[in-house]
Amino acid sequence: MKIIQITLLSLGILNSSSIHIFANENQKEDLMNIIKEFKPSNSLLVSPENPFSTQPIQFYDFNQDGQKEMIVTFQTKAKEQPSQFGVMVLKKENNYWQKIWETKTQGVGLEFSGLADITGDDIKEYLFGVTIGAAAGNTLEIFQWNDNLFKKIADVPYHKMDILNGNKKIGLAIWQWYLADSYLVDTLKWNGKKLAFDEELYTQYYPTVEKFYNDKIREMDAWFYWYCLADAQIKANLLEEASNSIHKGLSLAKQLSMTDVVQNFNKLNSKLGEKKKHLSN
């Protein structure tokens, strides 16, 4: 009798699990049918590289009415030119879905698709990053929901990016390619009108930059690592450290007789002098 009960119980568990899977599959099929009606016919859904494990379909309630909008990213392939990567937002009203917004950017990959409260108004902005090329890097477009419309509030070129918490507003750490595998880093934060360099946020983020270059220098003592580290130290107001980094990088550049690089270090040294003067006033 116990054996029969256990068998029936396990069958019940399997059946409930099957029903759950079936329901999820039906829901996914319904979503795909809705999306198919609005996306370009020669396109396919595509996931971004970042944030990691983000799906092509996301949901967020932009107008705070209790009904989440659907954010869909896709790729439109072209025969003789780079693909276009696009995003559209679908809104449900009176049980019917409609497309309320769409944008496309030409590129070779979808690098980022996500949400963050950049402006600090408690409503997240939509961030859309498309890879232009290996050297050119990526272009990040930031869209704000305002009066039932999406408005682009920023264009940011970048090669690597971190999203940072800074008080109420979210900040961005932007890594711009310099040479080989070195980058110049800035931290940007919304100042009420635009994204601008934020020194306090940079000071908080600096240990990440320092670790990156210390690790690189341990592998190879190259002038361009010292140059980028010195640039970071100036921005973080670590002026003695910056002076030492400039000295080390300048010595390596002189050994290699790289006159252009020596000039760049001299300019960086002048920038350091200006910062010292500014902080002493």
**In a structure prediction context, what are the per-residue pLDDT tens digits for the chain, which is 281 residues long?**
444 443 434 434 444 444 444 446 667 778 899 999 999 988 999 999 999 999 999 999 999 999 999 999 999 987 777 799 999 999 999 889 999 999 999 999 999 999 999 999 999 999 999 999 999 999 999 999 998 899 999 999 999 999 998 666 799 999 999 999 999 999 999 999 999 999 999 999 999 999 999 999 999 999 999 999 999 999 999 999 999 999 999 999 999 999 999 999 999 999 999 999 999 88
| pLDDT score recorded for residue 180 | 96
| pLDDT score recorded for residue 16 | 44
The rounded distance, in Å, linking the Cα atoms of 200 and 206 is 10
Query: Domains plus CATH for the chain?
Result: 39-158 (2.40.128), 161-281 (no CATH)
Reduced to 3 states, what is the DSSP secondary structure of residue 224? helix
Q: Up-side HSE of residue 219: CA atoms within 13 Å toward CB? A: 9
Find tokens 């030492």 and name the residue.
244
| Contacts of 90 by beta carbon, 8 Å cutoff, 6+ apart | 34, 35, 38, 69, 70, 72, 97, 98, 99, 100
What residue type is 95 in one-letter code? Answer: N
Alpha helices in the chain (DSSP H): 2-38, 199-219, 223-235, 239-255, 259-280
Q: What is the pTM of this model?
A: 0.87
The rounded distance, in Å, linking the Cα atoms of 220 and 242 is 19
Contact call for residues 234 and 242 (beta carbons, < 8 A): yes
